[in-house]
Amino acid sequence: MKRFDLTLLVGLSCLAAFVGVQARETRGTSVEREGHGEAAEVATAKGTRIALGDSTTSRRPITIRTTASRTTLGPDDVLRRVRERANGTFINDVIVAHDSALARWPDRLVNPLRVWVQNGATLADWSEERNSIVRRAFTDWSETGLPISFTFVFDSATADVHVTWTDHFNESISGKTLWAHNDNWWIVDASIQLAVHHRDGAALDFDATRAIALHEVGHLIGLDHTRDTTSIMTPRVRVKDLSAADRSTAFLLYSLPPGPVGAISKRISSR
What's the confidence (pLDDT) of residue 99?
Answer: 82
How far the first Cα of the chain sits from its last, in Å, is: 71
Q: Which residues pair with 236 in a beta bridge?
A: 43
Rounded mean pLDDT for each run of 10 residues along the chain, 271 residues in total: 48 47 47 50 39 28 39 69 88 88 94 97 97 98 95 97 97 92 93 96 96 97 94 89 96 90 51 48
Nearest to 117 by CA among 216, 193, 47: 193
The topology (CATH level 3) of 28-269 is Collagenase (Catalytic Domain) (3.40.390)
What's the confidence (pLDDT) of residue 67?
Answer: 41
Helices (H) and strands (E) counted in the chain, each on its own, are 8, 10
What's the confidence (pLDDT) of residue 96?
Answer: 87
**Residue ranges of domains in the chain:** 28-269
